[in-house]
Amino acid sequence: MCGVIGVAGLKNAAGLAYLSLYALQHRGQESAGMVAIDSAGTARGHRGMGLVPEVFTQRVLSELPGDIAIGHTRYSTAGSSALLNAQPSLVHYHAGPLALSHNGNLTNAEELRDDLVRRGSIFQSSADSEVLVHLIARSDRQSPEEQILDALERVEGAYTLILAVGRTMYGIVDPRGFRPLVLAELNGGWMLASETCALDIVGARVVREFGPGEWIKIEDGMVVDLPPLPKKEPQRCVFELIYFSRPDSIVFGTSVDLARRELGRQLAREHPVPNADCVFSVPDSANAMALGFAEESGVKLEHGLIRNHYVGRTFINPGQASRTEKVRIKFNPVREVIQDQSIVVIDDSLVRGTTSKALVRMIREAGAREVHMRLASPPITGPCYYGIDTPTHEELIAASLSVEEIRRELAVDTLGYLSLGGMLTAAGKEEGRFCHACFSGKYPTEIPQASAGKPNHRNDVLMVEADLIHSNQ
Ligand code: AMP
Protein backbone atom coordinates (compact mmCIF):
# COMPACT_ATOMS: atom_id res chain seq x y z
CA MET A 1 0.00 0.00 0.00
CA CYS A 2 1.12 3.56 -0.44
CA GLY A 3 0.32 7.15 0.32
CA VAL A 4 0.35 9.86 -2.34
CA ILE A 5 0.41 13.61 -2.06
CA GLY A 6 0.42 16.57 -4.45
CA VAL A 7 0.90 20.30 -3.85
CA ALA A 8 0.34 22.93 -6.57
CA GLY A 9 0.70 26.68 -6.50
CA LEU A 10 1.97 26.98 -2.94
CA LYS A 11 5.21 28.48 -1.69
CA ASN A 12 7.46 25.92 -0.02
CA ALA A 13 5.59 23.04 -1.64
CA ALA A 14 8.19 20.56 -0.40
CA GLY A 15 7.67 21.65 3.22
CA LEU A 16 3.91 21.15 2.91
CA ALA A 17 4.35 17.83 1.14
CA TYR A 18 6.70 16.74 3.91
CA LEU A 19 4.08 17.37 6.60
CA SER A 20 1.41 15.62 4.57
CA LEU A 21 3.65 12.64 3.93
CA TYR A 22 4.23 12.51 7.67
CA ALA A 23 0.48 12.08 8.12
CA LEU A 24 0.47 9.33 5.47
CA GLN A 25 3.27 7.38 7.12
CA HIS A 26 0.84 4.60 8.09
CA ARG A 27 0.27 3.88 4.39
CA GLY A 28 3.89 2.92 3.82
CA GLN A 29 6.99 2.75 5.92
CA GLU A 30 9.58 1.28 3.60
CA SER A 31 10.51 4.31 1.56
CA ALA A 32 9.49 7.88 0.99
CA GLY A 33 10.09 10.28 -1.85
CA MET A 34 9.30 13.65 -3.27
CA VAL A 35 9.74 15.63 -6.47
CA ALA A 36 9.52 19.43 -6.35
CA ILE A 37 9.19 21.65 -9.42
CA ASP A 38 10.27 25.28 -9.45
CA SER A 39 8.95 28.22 -11.47
CA ALA A 40 11.42 27.51 -14.28
CA GLY A 41 10.08 23.97 -14.60
CA THR A 42 13.13 22.30 -13.10
CA ALA A 43 12.23 19.15 -11.18
CA ARG A 44 14.33 17.92 -8.30
CA GLY A 45 13.69 14.66 -6.56
CA HIS A 46 14.77 12.81 -3.50
CA ARG A 47 13.89 9.27 -2.47
CA GLY A 48 15.19 7.15 0.33
CA MET A 49 14.53 3.99 2.28
CA GLY A 50 13.00 4.55 5.70
CA LEU A 51 10.48 6.79 7.41
CA VAL A 52 9.53 10.25 6.20
CA PRO A 53 11.61 12.17 8.80
CA GLU A 54 14.57 9.89 8.16
CA VAL A 55 14.45 10.44 4.41
CA PHE A 56 13.81 14.20 4.50
CA THR A 57 16.28 16.12 6.59
CA GLN A 58 16.22 19.93 6.63
CA ARG A 59 19.11 19.94 4.19
CA VAL A 60 17.29 17.70 1.73
CA LEU A 61 14.12 19.81 1.93
CA SER A 62 16.11 22.98 1.32
CA GLU A 63 17.35 21.42 -1.92
CA LEU A 64 13.80 20.92 -3.17
CA PRO A 65 12.62 24.45 -4.04
CA GLY A 66 9.41 25.15 -5.93
CA ASP A 67 5.67 25.71 -5.68
CA ILE A 68 4.74 22.26 -7.00
CA ALA A 69 5.55 18.96 -5.31
CA ILE A 70 4.40 15.38 -5.43
CA GLY A 71 5.24 12.80 -2.81
CA HIS A 72 4.94 9.16 -1.91
CA THR A 73 5.23 6.77 1.02
CA ARG A 74 5.61 3.14 0.05
CA TYR A 75 5.39 -0.38 1.22
CA SER A 76 5.85 -2.94 -1.46
CA THR A 77 3.00 -4.88 -2.97
CA ALA A 78 4.51 -5.14 -6.47
CA GLY A 79 8.27 -5.07 -6.84
CA SER A 80 10.64 -5.54 -3.95
CA SER A 81 11.46 -3.26 -1.06
CA ALA A 82 14.37 -1.48 -2.68
CA LEU A 83 15.41 2.08 -3.31
CA LEU A 84 15.04 1.73 -7.07
CA ASN A 85 11.35 0.99 -6.52
CA ALA A 86 10.82 4.03 -4.32
CA GLN A 87 8.62 6.75 -5.78
CA PRO A 88 7.92 9.26 -7.22
CA SER A 89 9.45 8.11 -10.48
CA LEU A 90 11.13 11.02 -12.25
CA VAL A 91 12.06 10.85 -15.92
CA HIS A 92 12.85 13.11 -18.86
CA TYR A 93 9.77 13.28 -21.07
CA HIS A 94 9.20 15.19 -24.29
CA ALA A 95 6.93 17.72 -22.54
CA GLY A 96 9.29 18.28 -19.59
CA PRO A 97 10.12 16.30 -16.48
CA LEU A 98 7.51 13.68 -15.67
CA ALA A 99 7.02 12.59 -12.07
CA LEU A 100 4.61 9.93 -10.92
CA SER A 101 3.29 8.68 -7.58
CA HIS A 102 1.11 5.57 -7.63
CA ASN A 103 -1.06 3.84 -5.05
CA GLY A 104 -2.56 0.48 -6.03
CA ASN A 105 -1.52 -2.50 -8.10
CA LEU A 106 -1.82 -2.93 -11.84
CA THR A 107 -3.08 -6.43 -12.50
CA ASN A 108 -1.77 -6.67 -16.07
CA ALA A 109 1.61 -5.04 -15.38
CA GLU A 110 3.61 -8.21 -16.03
CA GLU A 111 2.13 -8.72 -19.47
CA LEU A 112 2.57 -5.08 -20.42
CA ARG A 113 6.10 -5.03 -19.09
CA ASP A 114 7.12 -8.12 -21.05
CA ASP A 115 5.74 -6.55 -24.18
CA LEU A 116 7.53 -3.25 -23.52
CA VAL A 117 10.83 -5.02 -22.83
CA ARG A 118 10.48 -6.98 -26.07
CA ARG A 119 10.08 -3.67 -27.86
CA GLY A 120 13.22 -2.20 -26.30
CA SER A 121 12.13 -0.52 -23.06
CA ILE A 122 14.77 -0.51 -20.38
CA PHE A 123 13.30 -0.61 -16.88
CA GLN A 124 14.94 0.99 -13.87
CA SER A 125 12.81 -0.82 -11.29
CA SER A 126 10.68 -3.90 -10.74
CA ALA A 127 7.66 -1.83 -9.64
CA ASP A 128 4.46 -2.05 -11.69
CA SER A 129 4.18 1.75 -11.68
CA GLU A 130 7.09 2.13 -14.07
CA VAL A 131 5.03 0.38 -16.74
CA LEU A 132 2.77 3.42 -16.77
CA VAL A 133 5.68 5.77 -17.35
CA HIS A 134 6.81 3.72 -20.36
CA LEU A 135 3.31 3.46 -21.76
CA ILE A 136 2.90 7.23 -21.55
CA ALA A 137 6.28 7.93 -23.13
CA ARG A 138 5.82 5.42 -25.96
CA SER A 139 2.25 6.30 -26.81
CA ASP A 140 1.64 7.25 -30.47
CA ARG A 141 -0.63 10.06 -29.44
CA GLN A 142 0.55 13.66 -29.38
CA SER A 143 -0.23 15.65 -26.25
CA PRO A 144 0.68 14.56 -22.70
CA GLU A 145 -3.02 14.28 -21.86
CA GLU A 146 -3.74 12.01 -24.80
CA GLN A 147 -0.69 9.94 -24.01
CA ILE A 148 -1.70 9.57 -20.37
CA LEU A 149 -5.20 8.54 -21.42
CA ASP A 150 -3.76 6.07 -23.92
CA ALA A 151 -1.67 4.51 -21.13
CA LEU A 152 -4.61 4.37 -18.75
CA GLU A 153 -6.72 2.62 -21.35
CA ARG A 154 -4.17 -0.19 -21.41
CA VAL A 155 -3.67 -0.81 -17.72
CA GLU A 156 -6.01 -2.84 -15.52
CA GLY A 157 -6.40 -2.90 -11.78
CA ALA A 158 -5.99 -0.29 -9.10
CA TYR A 159 -4.36 3.06 -9.62
CA THR A 160 -4.66 6.30 -7.80
CA LEU A 161 -2.08 8.53 -9.43
CA ILE A 162 -0.56 11.92 -8.95
CA LEU A 163 1.44 12.95 -11.97
CA ALA A 164 3.40 16.08 -12.72
CA VAL A 165 4.27 16.84 -16.33
CA GLY A 166 6.33 20.02 -16.48
CA ARG A 167 4.31 22.40 -14.30
CA THR A 168 0.99 20.64 -14.81
CA MET A 169 -0.27 18.27 -12.16
CA TYR A 170 -2.78 15.47 -12.73
CA GLY A 171 -4.85 13.58 -10.16
CA ILE A 172 -6.34 10.32 -11.41
CA VAL A 173 -8.43 7.52 -9.90
CA ASP A 174 -9.06 4.29 -11.80
CA PRO A 175 -12.61 3.56 -13.04
CA ARG A 176 -13.37 1.24 -10.13
CA GLY A 177 -12.00 3.66 -7.54
CA PHE A 178 -10.19 1.08 -5.42
CA ARG A 179 -7.99 3.62 -3.61
CA PRO A 180 -8.95 7.02 -2.23
CA LEU A 181 -7.87 10.51 -3.36
CA VAL A 182 -9.00 13.90 -2.13
CA LEU A 183 -8.74 17.42 -3.59
CA ALA A 184 -8.26 20.34 -1.19
CA GLU A 185 -7.63 24.08 -1.28
CA LEU A 186 -5.07 26.00 0.73
CA ASN A 187 -4.34 29.74 0.47
CA GLY A 188 -5.30 29.88 -3.20
CA GLY A 189 -3.27 26.78 -4.05
CA TRP A 190 -4.29 23.12 -4.35
CA MET A 191 -3.47 19.85 -2.71
CA LEU A 192 -4.17 16.22 -3.49
CA ALA A 193 -3.83 13.46 -0.90
CA SER A 194 -4.72 9.83 -0.27
CA GLU A 195 -6.48 10.74 2.96
CA THR A 196 -7.93 13.81 4.60
CA CYS A 197 -5.62 13.48 7.62
CA ALA A 198 -2.79 14.60 5.32
CA LEU A 199 -4.74 17.77 4.56
CA ASP A 200 -5.77 18.53 8.14
CA ILE A 201 -2.12 18.63 9.15
CA VAL A 202 -1.48 21.69 6.96
CA GLY A 203 -4.91 23.27 7.43
CA ALA A 204 -6.09 22.63 3.86
CA ARG A 205 -9.85 22.65 3.21
CA VAL A 206 -11.27 19.56 1.52
CA VAL A 207 -13.02 20.44 -1.73
CA ARG A 208 -14.10 16.96 -2.76
CA GLU A 209 -13.19 13.33 -2.90
CA PHE A 210 -12.46 11.81 -6.30
CA GLY A 211 -15.12 9.47 -7.64
CA PRO A 212 -14.15 6.31 -9.54
CA GLY A 213 -12.73 7.18 -12.97
CA GLU A 214 -12.29 10.85 -12.16
CA TRP A 215 -9.27 12.78 -13.32
CA ILE A 216 -8.33 16.40 -13.15
CA LYS A 217 -5.47 18.63 -14.05
CA ILE A 218 -4.15 21.59 -12.12
CA GLU A 219 -2.54 24.16 -14.35
CA ASP A 220 -1.80 27.86 -13.83
CA GLY A 221 -3.64 27.80 -10.53
CA MET A 222 -6.85 26.34 -12.01
CA VAL A 223 -8.43 22.93 -11.48
CA VAL A 224 -9.78 21.52 -14.74
CA ASP A 225 -12.04 18.45 -14.77
CA LEU A 226 -11.11 16.08 -17.59
CA PRO A 227 -13.61 13.70 -19.21
CA PRO A 228 -14.03 10.75 -16.80
CA LEU A 229 -12.43 7.43 -17.65
CA PRO A 230 -14.79 4.80 -19.16
CA LYS A 231 -17.30 3.79 -16.51
CA LYS A 232 -16.99 0.56 -14.56
CA GLU A 233 -18.76 -0.70 -11.48
CA PRO A 234 -17.34 1.04 -8.38
CA GLN A 235 -15.13 -1.19 -6.24
CA ARG A 236 -14.02 0.85 -3.26
CA CYS A 237 -11.64 -1.21 -1.12
CA VAL A 238 -13.51 -2.05 2.06
CA PHE A 239 -10.21 -2.83 3.77
CA GLU A 240 -9.36 0.89 3.64
CA LEU A 241 -12.15 1.40 6.17
CA ILE A 242 -11.44 -1.75 8.18
CA TYR A 243 -7.72 -1.46 8.59
CA PHE A 244 -5.75 0.71 6.31
CA SER A 245 -6.83 4.32 6.57
CA ARG A 246 -6.41 6.47 9.64
CA PRO A 247 -9.55 6.77 11.78
CA ASP A 248 -9.42 10.57 11.63
CA SER A 249 -9.77 10.49 7.83
CA ILE A 250 -12.88 10.64 5.73
CA VAL A 251 -12.53 7.92 3.12
CA PHE A 252 -15.10 7.07 0.42
CA GLY A 253 -17.41 9.66 1.93
CA THR A 254 -17.38 7.95 5.32
CA SER A 255 -15.68 8.78 8.59
CA VAL A 256 -13.29 5.89 9.13
CA ASP A 257 -13.78 6.19 12.89
CA LEU A 258 -17.57 6.03 12.65
CA ALA A 259 -17.44 3.14 10.18
CA ARG A 260 -15.21 1.20 12.55
CA ARG A 261 -17.49 1.86 15.52
CA GLU A 262 -20.40 0.58 13.46
CA LEU A 263 -18.41 -2.53 12.52
CA GLY A 264 -17.88 -3.10 16.26
CA ARG A 265 -21.59 -2.64 17.00
CA GLN A 266 -22.54 -5.06 14.26
CA LEU A 267 -20.00 -7.55 15.61
CA ALA A 268 -21.60 -7.31 19.07
CA ARG A 269 -25.01 -8.01 17.53
CA GLU A 270 -23.76 -10.98 15.53
CA HIS A 271 -21.45 -12.51 18.14
CA PRO A 272 -22.33 -11.37 21.67
CA VAL A 273 -20.41 -12.65 24.70
CA PRO A 274 -23.10 -12.52 27.42
CA ASN A 275 -21.02 -13.02 30.54
CA ALA A 276 -17.85 -11.17 29.62
CA ASP A 277 -16.19 -8.97 32.25
CA CYS A 278 -14.54 -6.61 29.81
CA VAL A 279 -13.73 -5.95 26.18
CA PHE A 280 -10.57 -4.45 24.72
CA SER A 281 -8.97 -3.94 21.35
CA VAL A 282 -5.76 -4.98 19.75
CA PRO A 283 -4.54 -1.39 19.46
CA ASP A 284 -4.69 0.79 17.44
CA SER A 285 -6.61 -0.27 14.36
CA ALA A 286 -9.36 -2.03 16.36
CA ASN A 287 -9.82 0.71 19.00
CA ALA A 288 -12.97 2.17 17.47
CA MET A 289 -14.38 -1.31 16.86
CA ALA A 290 -13.95 -2.22 20.54
CA LEU A 291 -15.68 1.04 21.42
CA GLY A 292 -18.62 0.11 19.20
CA PHE A 293 -18.73 -3.41 20.61
CA ALA A 294 -18.78 -2.05 24.19
CA GLU A 295 -21.49 0.52 23.38
CA GLU A 296 -23.73 -2.05 21.76
CA SER A 297 -23.21 -4.88 24.26
CA GLY A 298 -22.84 -2.92 27.49
CA VAL A 299 -19.65 -4.85 28.27
CA LYS A 300 -17.07 -2.63 30.00
CA LEU A 301 -14.39 -1.20 27.71
CA GLU A 302 -10.83 -1.60 28.98
CA HIS A 303 -7.22 -1.11 27.93
CA GLY A 304 -5.90 -4.63 28.15
CA LEU A 305 -3.03 -4.37 25.72
CA ILE A 306 -0.51 -1.60 25.49
CA ARG A 307 1.23 -0.98 22.26
CA ASN A 308 4.75 0.32 21.95
CA HIS A 309 4.34 3.12 19.42
CA TYR A 310 7.97 3.17 18.48
CA VAL A 311 7.64 -0.13 16.63
CA GLY A 312 6.24 0.04 13.09
CA ARG A 313 3.16 -1.82 11.89
CA THR A 314 4.02 -5.51 12.09
CA PHE A 315 3.01 -6.35 8.54
CA ILE A 316 4.58 -3.40 6.88
CA ASN A 317 8.07 -4.68 7.44
CA PRO A 318 8.23 -7.52 4.90
CA GLY A 319 9.52 -10.91 5.94
CA GLN A 320 7.84 -13.44 8.20
CA ALA A 321 10.67 -13.82 10.70
CA SER A 322 10.76 -10.22 11.80
CA ARG A 323 6.95 -10.11 11.96
CA THR A 324 6.68 -12.91 14.53
CA GLU A 325 9.38 -11.42 16.70
CA LYS A 326 7.90 -7.99 16.50
CA VAL A 327 4.58 -9.03 18.07
CA ARG A 328 6.26 -9.43 21.44
CA ILE A 329 8.15 -6.21 21.08
CA LYS A 330 5.01 -4.37 20.05
CA PHE A 331 2.38 -5.42 22.63
CA ASN A 332 2.32 -5.97 26.36
CA PRO A 333 -0.73 -7.01 28.43
CA VAL A 334 -2.02 -5.09 31.47
CA ARG A 335 -2.19 -7.83 34.10
CA GLU A 336 -4.42 -5.87 36.48
CA VAL A 337 -7.11 -5.68 33.80
CA ILE A 338 -6.84 -9.26 32.63
CA GLN A 339 -6.27 -11.39 35.73
CA ASP A 340 -9.15 -13.83 36.40
CA GLN A 341 -11.40 -12.09 33.90
CA SER A 342 -13.51 -13.35 31.05
CA ILE A 343 -12.39 -11.04 28.28
CA VAL A 344 -13.38 -10.18 24.73
CA VAL A 345 -10.49 -9.23 22.44
CA ILE A 346 -11.41 -7.33 19.32
CA ASP A 347 -9.23 -7.17 16.25
CA ASP A 348 -10.06 -5.68 12.89
CA SER A 349 -8.95 -8.73 10.90
CA LEU A 350 -7.15 -12.01 11.02
CA VAL A 351 -4.62 -12.58 8.27
CA ARG A 352 -1.91 -15.14 9.00
CA GLY A 353 -2.94 -15.59 12.61
CA THR A 354 0.60 -15.03 13.83
CA THR A 355 -0.13 -11.79 15.70
CA SER A 356 -3.29 -13.11 17.29
CA LYS A 357 -1.77 -16.40 18.37
CA ALA A 358 1.08 -14.67 20.15
CA LEU A 359 -1.33 -12.16 21.69
CA VAL A 360 -3.68 -14.82 23.01
CA ARG A 361 -0.75 -16.61 24.58
CA MET A 362 0.30 -13.37 26.27
CA ILE A 363 -3.22 -12.70 27.50
CA ARG A 364 -3.52 -16.19 28.93
CA GLU A 365 -0.15 -15.85 30.62
CA ALA A 366 -1.45 -12.62 32.16
CA GLY A 367 -4.12 -14.69 33.91
CA ALA A 368 -7.27 -14.41 31.76
CA ARG A 369 -9.97 -16.88 32.75
CA GLU A 370 -11.65 -16.94 29.34
CA VAL A 371 -10.56 -15.40 26.03
CA HIS A 372 -13.22 -14.66 23.40
CA MET A 373 -11.82 -13.39 20.13
CA ARG A 374 -13.98 -11.23 17.86
CA LEU A 375 -12.99 -10.03 14.41
CA ALA A 376 -14.61 -7.03 12.81
CA SER A 377 -14.34 -8.48 9.30
CA PRO A 378 -15.00 -11.89 7.70
CA PRO A 379 -12.35 -14.58 7.18
CA ILE A 380 -9.73 -13.46 4.64
CA THR A 381 -9.63 -16.28 2.13
CA GLY A 382 -7.70 -14.82 -0.79
CA PRO A 383 -4.92 -12.38 -1.59
CA CYS A 384 -5.47 -8.80 -2.68
CA TYR A 385 -4.30 -7.89 -6.17
CA TYR A 386 -5.18 -4.23 -5.82
CA GLY A 387 -2.60 -2.90 -3.42
CA ILE A 388 -3.08 -4.38 0.05
CA ASP A 389 -0.28 -6.60 1.22
CA THR A 390 -2.27 -9.71 2.00
CA PRO A 391 -0.15 -12.82 1.64
CA THR A 392 -0.59 -15.83 -0.65
CA HIS A 393 -3.28 -18.48 -0.09
CA GLU A 394 -0.81 -20.72 1.72
CA GLU A 395 -0.12 -18.10 4.37
CA LEU A 396 -3.72 -16.99 4.91
CA ILE A 397 -5.04 -18.89 7.89
CA ALA A 398 -8.68 -18.79 6.76
CA ALA A 399 -7.84 -20.04 3.28
CA SER A 400 -7.29 -23.56 4.59
CA LEU A 401 -8.81 -23.75 8.08
CA SER A 402 -12.44 -23.60 9.21
CA VAL A 403 -13.52 -21.18 11.93
CA GLU A 404 -13.48 -23.99 14.48
CA GLU A 405 -9.97 -25.04 13.40
CA ILE A 406 -8.79 -21.44 13.67
CA ARG A 407 -10.34 -21.21 17.14
CA ARG A 408 -8.29 -24.20 18.19
CA GLU A 409 -5.17 -22.86 16.50
CA LEU A 410 -5.48 -19.56 18.36
CA ALA A 411 -6.41 -21.36 21.58
CA VAL A 412 -9.41 -19.10 22.34
CA ASP A 413 -12.62 -20.14 24.08
CA THR A 414 -14.81 -18.75 21.32
CA LEU A 415 -14.13 -17.07 17.99
CA GLY A 416 -16.54 -14.88 16.02
CA TYR A 417 -16.04 -13.26 12.62
CA LEU A 418 -18.29 -10.51 11.31
CA SER A 419 -20.38 -11.71 8.36
CA LEU A 420 -19.82 -10.34 4.86
CA GLY A 421 -23.27 -8.78 4.78
CA GLY A 422 -22.82 -7.32 8.26
CA MET A 423 -19.49 -5.80 7.27
CA LEU A 424 -20.84 -4.23 4.08
CA THR A 425 -23.87 -2.78 5.83
CA ALA A 426 -21.74 -1.37 8.63
CA ALA A 427 -19.10 0.03 6.27
CA GLY A 428 -21.49 2.06 4.15
CA LYS A 429 -25.01 2.57 3.07
CA GLU A 430 -24.69 1.65 -0.57
CA GLU A 431 -24.02 -2.06 -0.57
CA GLY A 432 -22.26 -3.32 -3.64
CA ARG A 433 -19.97 -0.33 -4.03
CA PHE A 434 -17.12 -2.12 -2.24
CA CYS A 435 -14.44 -4.52 -3.41
CA HIS A 436 -14.48 -7.41 -0.93
CA ALA A 437 -12.57 -9.93 -3.03
CA CYS A 438 -10.16 -10.93 -0.24
CA PHE A 439 -13.19 -12.04 1.82
CA SER A 440 -15.58 -13.27 -0.87
CA GLY A 441 -13.29 -14.39 -3.68
CA LYS A 442 -15.25 -12.14 -6.08
CA TYR A 443 -12.39 -10.45 -7.89
CA PRO A 444 -13.61 -7.56 -10.02
CA THR A 445 -10.83 -7.91 -12.60
CA GLU A 446 -9.19 -10.79 -14.34
CA ILE A 447 -6.08 -11.97 -12.53
CA PRO A 448 -3.38 -12.79 -15.04
CA GLN A 449 -1.37 -15.87 -14.13
CA ALA A 450 1.86 -13.95 -13.94
CA SER A 451 0.65 -11.78 -11.08
CA ALA A 452 -1.45 -14.46 -9.40
CA GLY A 453 1.48 -15.35 -7.18
CA LYS A 454 3.31 -12.77 -5.18
CA PRO A 455 5.00 -9.51 -6.02
CA ASN A 456 7.57 -9.90 -8.70
CA HIS A 457 11.10 -9.60 -7.45
CA ARG A 458 12.86 -10.59 -10.63
CA ASN A 459 15.16 -8.21 -12.45
CA ASP A 460 15.93 -6.42 -9.24
CA VAL A 461 18.84 -4.05 -9.28
CA LEU A 462 19.66 -2.94 -5.79
CA MET A 463 20.88 0.49 -4.83
CA VAL A 464 21.67 1.18 -1.22
CA GLU A 465 22.49 4.89 -1.10
CA ALA A 466 19.80 7.55 -1.09
CA ASP A 467 19.59 9.08 -4.54
CA LEU A 468 19.16 12.68 -5.50
CA ILE A 469 17.80 13.28 -8.96
CA HIS A 470 17.99 16.57 -10.79
CA SER A 471 16.14 16.82 -13.99
CA ASN A 472 16.05 19.96 -16.10
CA GLN A 473 13.50 20.61 -18.72
P1 AMP B 1 -2.42 -11.93 12.23
O2 AMP B 1 -2.91 -12.20 13.63
O3 AMP B 1 -1.01 -12.35 12.07
O4 AMP B 1 -3.32 -12.49 11.22
O5 AMP B 1 -2.39 -10.35 12.04
C6 AMP B 1 -3.55 -9.64 12.16
C7 AMP B 1 -3.21 -8.21 12.42
O8 AMP B 1 -2.58 -7.64 11.28
C9 AMP B 1 -4.43 -7.41 12.73
O10 AMP B 1 -4.20 -6.81 13.97
C11 AMP B 1 -4.53 -6.38 11.65
O12 AMP B 1 -4.74 -5.11 12.23
C13 AMP B 1 -3.20 -6.41 10.96
N14 AMP B 1 -3.33 -6.40 9.49
C15 AMP B 1 -4.30 -6.88 8.74
N16 AMP B 1 -4.05 -6.71 7.44
C17 AMP B 1 -2.88 -6.09 7.34
C18 AMP B 1 -2.08 -5.61 6.25
N19 AMP B 1 -2.43 -5.79 5.00
N20 AMP B 1 -0.95 -4.97 6.53
C21 AMP B 1 -0.57 -4.81 7.79
N22 AMP B 1 -1.26 -5.26 8.86
C23 AMP B 1 -2.40 -5.88 8.64
Task: Write the CATH number for 366.
Answer: 3.40.50.2020
Q: Looking at the predicted structure, is the pLDDT value of residue 234 above 80? A: yes
Mutation pick for ligand 1 pocket among 74, 307, 314, 351 (CB with most ligand atoms within 8 Å): 351
Q: Looking at the predicted structure, is the pLDDT value of residue 13 above 90? A: yes
- Rounded CA-CA distance 45/360 in Å is 45
Question: What's the confidence (pLDDT) of residue 455?
Answer: 43
User: Which of 218-227, 377-386, 450-459 shows the lowest per-residue confidence on average (mean pLDDT)?
Assistant: 450-459
Question: What's the confidence (pLDDT) of residue 454?
Answer: 44
Q: Looking at the predicted structure, is the pLDDT value of residue 406 above 70? A: yes
Give the distance (Å) from ligand 1 centre to CA of residue 316: 9
Whether the CB-CB separation of 85 and 74 falls below 8 Å is answered with yes
| CA-closest residue to ligand 1 atom 23 | 315
Q: Are residues 226 and 88 in the same domain?
A: yes
Question: What's the confidence (pLDDT) of residue 327?
Answer: 76
**Percent above pLDDT 70 for the chain:** 90
Mutation pick for ligand 1 pocket among 355, 377, 388, 439 (CB with most ligand atoms within 8 Å): 355
Average pLDDT (79-108) is 92
Give the distance (Å) from ligand 1 centre to CA of residue 421: 21
Domain-located, residue 454: no
| CA-closest residue to ligand 1 atom 6 | 350
Question: What's the confidence (pLDDT) of residue 295?
Answer: 98
Ligand 1 and 355: CB distance under 6 A: yes
| CA-closest residue to ligand 1 atom 10 | 347
- Rounded CA-CA distance 217/120 in Å is 31
Ligand 1 and 350: CB distance under 6 A: yes
| CA-closest residue to ligand 1 atom 22 | 315
Q: Are residues 209 and 264 in the same domain?
A: no
Average pLDDT (354-365) is 93
Domain-located, residue 465: no
Q: Are residues 275 and 210 in the same domain?
A: no
Q: Are residues 382 and 335 in the same domain?
A: yes
Average pLDDT (116-127) is 92
Ligand 1 and 388: CB distance under 6 A: yes
Average pLDDT (94-104) is 97
Domain-located, residue 126: yes
Q: Are residues 230 and 256 in the same domain?
A: no
Average pLDDT (121-134) is 92
Three-state DSSP class for residue 110: helix
Q: Are residues 174 and 268 in the same domain?
A: no
Domain-located, residue 244: no
| CA-closest residue to ligand 1 atom 20 | 315
Ligand 1 and 349: CB distance under 6 A: yes
Question: What's the confidence (pLDDT) of residue 325?
Answer: 66
Domain-located, residue 266: yes
pLDDT interval class at 319 (50, 70, 90): low
For residue 235, what are the contacts with CB-CB under 8 A and spacing of at least 6?
176, 177, 178, 212, 386, 433, 434, 435, 444
Give the distance (Å) from ligand 1 centre to CA of residue 56: 28
* Strands of 168-173's sheet in order across: 89-93, 96-103, 160-165, 168-173, 215-219, 222-226
Q: Are residues 336 and 426 in the same domain?
A: yes
Last residue of a domain, one of 182, 205, 234: 234
Q: What are the pLDDT digits (tens) for 171-192?
A: 999 999 999 999 999 999 999 9
> Which residues does residue 226 pair with via DSSP β-bridges, in sequence order?
215
Half-sphere exposure of 109 (CA within 13 A, CB side): 29
The full DSSP string for 32-50 is EEEEEE-TT--EEEEEEES
Question: What's the confidence (pLDDT) of residue 320?
Answer: 54
Residue 84: domain span:
2-234
Ligand 1 and 235: CB distance under 6 A: no
- Rounded CA-CA distance 459/205 in Å is 43
Ligand 1 and 390: CB distance under 6 A: yes
Q: Are residues 191 and 125 in the same domain?
A: yes
Provide the CA 374 distance to its chain's centre, in angstroms: 24
* Active site annotation includes 237: no
pLDDT interval class at 328 (50, 70, 90): confident
Closest CA to 456 of 157, 127, 135: 127
Average pLDDT (385-400) is 91
Q: For 153, list phi and psi in degrees, rounded to 5.
A: -65, -15
Q: Are residues 158 and 274 in the same domain?
A: no
Q: Looking at the predicted structure, is the pLDDT value of residue 169 above 80? A: yes
Tell the burial category of 69 from Cβ atoms under 10 Å away from its Cβ (0-12, 13-18, 19+): buried
Q: Are residues 217 and 279 in the same domain?
A: no
Half-sphere exposure of 185 (CA within 13 A, CB side): 7
Dihedral of alpha carbons 225, 226, 227, 232, sign: negative
Nearest ligand 1 atom, CA 356: 2
Domain-located, residue 473: no
Q: What CATH number does the domain containing 126 carry? A: 3.60.20.10
pLDDT interval class at 470 (50, 70, 90): very low
Half-sphere exposure of 35 (CA within 13 A, CB side): 28
Number of domains in the chain: 2
Give the distance (Å) from ligand 1 centre to CA of residue 15: 32
What's the whole-number average pLDDT of the chain? 91
Domain-located, residue 245: no
| CA-closest residue to ligand 1 atom 19 | 389
Q: Are residues 229 and 258 in the same domain?
A: no
Q: Are residues 16 and 145 in the same domain?
A: yes
- Rounded CA-CA distance 305/309 in Å is 12
**Number of residues that make up the chain:** 473
Question: What's the confidence (pLDDT) of residue 314?
Answer: 45
Last residue of a domain, one of 234, 258, 284: 234
Ligand 1 and 451: CB distance under 6 A: no
Mutation pick for ligand 1 pocket among 315, 356, 380 (CB with most ligand atoms within 8 Å): 315
